[in-house]
Amino acid sequence: MNPIKSILYYVEDEVDLAALAHVVEIARSTGARITVGTVVKPAHLQVLFTRDNFDVQEVERLLIAHRERHLDEVVRGVGITDVVIDTRVFVGDPVYAIVEAVMKGDYDVLAKLPTYEDGFQQHIFGTMDMRLMRACPCPVFIGRVKPTGYSERIVAAIDYDEGDATKTTLNEKILESVAHMLSDQFSMVKQAYIAHAWSLYGESLLTAKAEKAPPARLQKAMHQEEKKRREWLAELVKQFKSSLPAGDAETFNPELELLHGDPVTAIPELVHQLNADVLAMGTLSRSGLGGMLIGHTAEAILNRVNCSVVTFKPQGFESPVPRHSRR
């Protein structure tokens, strides 16, 4: 993972001071600067009033100035002197404006609070969150503030990558983020769990009553598959650790969790069992009728956890959001 030098903290409405303190702690541990940013929708997309002397462009300027003053007052009020924090107000569709800001400003991480959907505040990230995770080229950290305190545990979900270069780069990014969080300079994570969920190809069919495979053959196949995945996971982590500088290698001692079952259920169950603060995972996006879609497995997992998440894109990912996307 590249060094974190700049963080864009996106605020949809009011600045949550507890969340800002969390982002500041990350910045302290990495030496990063923070930009607290928000978005004003452009005047040209709003209803045009026919009232004489009513200038919607002037209203846009007033809205921008108001948000700038508010953000500046909040940042000054927290009294942080050891981390550089600036403020920005962007104009446009929120997702397009924020993703464009990430690309133009070369931000290393996009951070925000979850956008809750009505009736689903405990489990489901909102449409805004999903759109940002689909389109943003840098890691996206969506942090949930935990009023009951933090366990200082992270679960990193990785996928079997044999012969798949895209998954290999994603796994590397995820492991790099874990190594960084476990390093001496980062004080917010004390224990990491590298999780991989596996199942035998066609297992649900082979174990169904109508198509039940001979028990001995099925058990042998499952044992062989489990052994292969366990050895792969251990070797992956071993090789990664050997590539780290001595100091980082010394602190990189994650526990390995080989889970039998569908990752959609197995990964969230582990997160809940450990009361983990963060789930790190990759998102393999694809093109669809609605634009860029997170892979079904990743989206299903995200909708089953109530911790903070950080998502990564594969090497070479190109955002569907064009530059200069004021709209």
**289 in any annotated domain:** yes
Region 96-106: what's the mean pLDDT? 95
What's the token pair of residue 156? 């990193």
Q: Which residue would you say has higher pLDDT here, 291 or 112?
A: 112
Looking at residue 163, what DSSP letter applies? Answer: T
Predicted local confidence at residue 297, as pLDDT: 81
CA dihedral 276, 108, 303, 17 (to 10 degrees): 70
Q: pLDDT confidence of 58, banded at 50, 70, 90?
A: confident
- The SS3 of residue 187 is coil
Q: pLDDT confidence of 327, banded at 50, 70, 90?
A: very low
**253 in any annotated domain:** yes
Closest CA to 39 of 96, 78, 108: 96
Region 160-171: what's the mean pLDDT? 86
Number of domains comprising the chain: 1
Predicted local confidence at residue 62, as pLDDT: 92
**322 in any annotated domain:** no
Q: Are 229 and 196 in contact (CB under 8 A)?
A: yes
pLDDT at 287 over 50: no
Predicted local confidence at residue 217, as pLDDT: 80
**155 in any annotated domain:** yes
**28 in any annotated domain:** yes
Helix/strand/coil (H, E, C) string of 122-135? CCCECHHHHHHHHH
Predicted local confidence at residue 292, as pLDDT: 40
Q: Which residue would you say has higher pLDDT here, 46 or 36?
A: 36
Predicted local confidence at residue 323, as pLDDT: 63
Mean pLDDT of all residues belonging to the chain = 85
Domain carrying residue 95: 6-312
Q: Are 265 and 196 in contact (CB under 8 A)?
A: no
Q: pLDDT confidence of 150, banded at 50, 70, 90?
A: confident
In whole angstroms, how large is the CA radius of gyration of the chain? 22
What percent of the chain has pLDDT above 90? Answer: 53
- CA neighbours within 13 Å on the CB side: how many for 44? 5
Q: Which residue would you say has higher pLDDT here, 289 or 279?
A: 279
pLDDT at 29 over 90: no
Residue the block writes with tokens 């931000």: 107
CB atoms closer than 10 angstroms to residue 278: 27
Predicted local confidence at residue 38, as pLDDT: 97
Closest CA to 138 of 37, 3, 40, 287: 3
Containing 235, the helix (H) or strand (E) segment is: helix 215-242
**320 in any annotated domain:** no
Tell me: the pLDDT tens digits for 207-259?
A: 766 466 677 888 888 899 999 999 999 999 999 999 999 988 999 999 999 99
**What pTM does this model have?**
0.87
**218 in any annotated domain:** yes
Predicted local confidence at residue 117, as pLDDT: 61
pLDDT at 120 over 60: no
Predicted local confidence at residue 144, as pLDDT: 82
CA angle 265, 271, 273 (to 5 degrees): 95
Q: pLDDT confidence of 83, banded at 50, 70, 90?
A: very high
Predicted local confidence at residue 263, as pLDDT: 92
Q: What CATH number did the domain enclosing 156 receive?
A: 3.40.50.12370
pLDDT at 326 over 60: no
pLDDT at 60 over 80: yes
**90 in any annotated domain:** yes
Tell me whether residue 92 is exposed, middle or buried, using C-beta atoms within 10 angstroms of its C-beta: 0 to 12, 13 to 18, 19 or more. buried
What's the token pair of residue 158? 């990785």
Residue type, 114: P
